[in-house]
Amino acid sequence: MNIRERIEALRSAMRAEGLAAYVVPGNDPHASEYMAAHWCEMQWLSGFNGESGTMVVTLDRALLWTDSRYYLQAGIELEGSGIELMRESDIDCPSVPEWLERLEVSGERLAVGVNPEMFSVDTFAAWSEKISLKSVDLIKPLWTEGRPAIPQDKLSPYSADFAGETVESKLAKIRKFAGERLKVKGERWALVVSALDEIAWLLNIRGNDVEYNPVVISYVVLEADKCTLFVDANKIDSPAQNYLDFNNIDVQPYEAVFDYIASLCGTVLFDGARVNEALYEAIPASCKKINTKSPILIDKAKKNAIELEGERIAMRQDCVALTRFFKWLDEEAFANDQTQTEWSLMEKLHEFRMMGENFVEESFGTIAGYQGNGAIVHYAATEDKCAEVKPEGMLLLDSGGQYLDGTTDITRTVWLGGRIPQQAKLDYTYVLKGHIALQTARFPRGTRGNQLDALAKQYMWQAGITYGHGTGHGVGHFLGCHEGPQNVRTDNNPTPLEVGHIISDEPGIYRTGKWGIRTENLITVVPAKQTKATTTEDEWLTFETLTLCFYDTSLIEMDLMTDEEIDYINAYHVRVYKEVSPLLSDEEKSYLAYKCAAIER
- pLDDT value of residue 50: 84
Helices (H) and strands (E) in the chain, counts: 18, 30
Report the CATH number of the 305-531+540-595 domain: 3.90.230.10
* Mean pLDDT lowest among 35-49, 77-91, 105-119, 145-159: 105-119
**Structural contact between residues 148 and 171, judged by C-beta atoms closer than 8 angstroms:** no
The torsion angles phi and psi of 107, rounded to 5 degrees, stand at 75, 5
**Structural contact between residues 257 and 96, judged by C-beta atoms closer than 8 angstroms:** no
3-135 CATH pick, 3.40.190.10, 3.40.350.10, 3.30.300.30, 3.40.50.360: 3.40.350.10
Q: Is 311 left (phi over 0), alpha (psi -120 to 50) or beta?
A: alpha
Peptide bond just before 485 cis, omega within 30 deg: yes
- pLDDT value of residue 105: 62
Q: Where are the alpha helices (DSSP H) in 90-182?
A: 96-101, 121-128, 160-163, 167-181
Question: Which amino acid is located at 325 in the chain?
Answer: F
- pLDDT value of residue 106: 57
Please, which residues have CB within 8 angstroms of residue 217's CB and are 6 or more apart in sequence? Answer: 30, 36, 150, 151, 196, 207, 209, 210, 231, 232, 254
Q: In the predicted model, what is the mean pLDDT of residues 45-61?
A: 93
How many CB atoms are closer than 10 A to CB 141?
Answer: 10
More confident residue, 106 or 451: 451
Please check the confidence at residue 417 and state whether its pLDDT lies above 80: yes
**Structural contact between residues 220 and 175, judged by C-beta atoms closer than 8 angstroms:** no
DSSP 389-447: E-SSSEEEEEE-EEETTEE--EEEEEE-SSPPPHHHHHHHHHHHHHHHHHHT--EETT-
Please, which residues have CB within 8 angstroms of residue 452's CB and are 6 or more apart in sequence? Answer: 438, 441, 443, 488, 497
Burial of 546 per CB tally in 10 Å (0-12, 13-18, 19+): buried
User: For residues 377 and 394, what is the distance between their CA atoms, to the nearest angstrom?
Assistant: 15
User: For residues 445 and 295, what is the distance between their CA atoms, to the nearest angstrom?
Assistant: 20
Summarised one tens digit per residue, pLDDT across range 131-190 is 999 999 999 999 999 999 999 999 999 999 999 999 999 999 999 998 888 876 778 999
Per-residue b or e along 247-268, where b marks 16 or more CB atoms closer than 10 Å to that residue's CB: bebebbeeeebeebbeebebbb
156-301 CATH pick, 3.40.350.10, 3.20.20.140, 3.60.150.10, 3.30.70.380: 3.40.350.10
Of all residues in the chain, the percent with pLDDT exceeding 90 is 90
Summarised one tens digit per residue, pLDDT across range 297-330 is 999 999 999 999 999 999 999 999 999 999 999 9
- pLDDT value of residue 536: 67
Summarised one tens digit per residue, pLDDT across range 424-467 is 999 999 999 999 999 999 999 999 999 999 999 999 999 999 99
The whole-angstrom distance between residue 20's C-alpha and the CA centroid of its chain comes to 34
User: For residues 86 and 105, what is the distance between their CA atoms, to the nearest angstrom?
Assistant: 23
- pLDDT value of residue 125: 97
pLDDT classification of 339: cutoffs 50, 70, 90: very high
Same fold, 3-135 and 305-531+540-595: no
How many CB atoms are closer than 10 A to CB 149?
Answer: 9
Q: Where are the domains of the chain?
A: 3-135, 156-301, 305-531+540-595
Summarised one tens digit per residue, pLDDT across range 490-536 is 989 999 999 999 999 999 999 999 999 999 999 999 999 877 666 66
Summarised one tens digit per residue, pLDDT across range 262-304 is 999 999 999 999 999 999 999 999 999 999 999 999 999 999 9
- pLDDT value of residue 379: 86
Please check the confidence at residue 74 and state whether its pLDDT lies above 90: no
**pTM of the predicted model as reported, rounded to 2 decimal places:** 0.94
Summarised one tens digit per residue, pLDDT across range 10-33 is 999 999 999 999 999 999 999 998
Please check the confidence at residue 34 and state whether its pLDDT lies above 70: yes
User: For residues 170 and 248, what is the distance between their CA atoms, to the nearest angstrom?
Assistant: 13
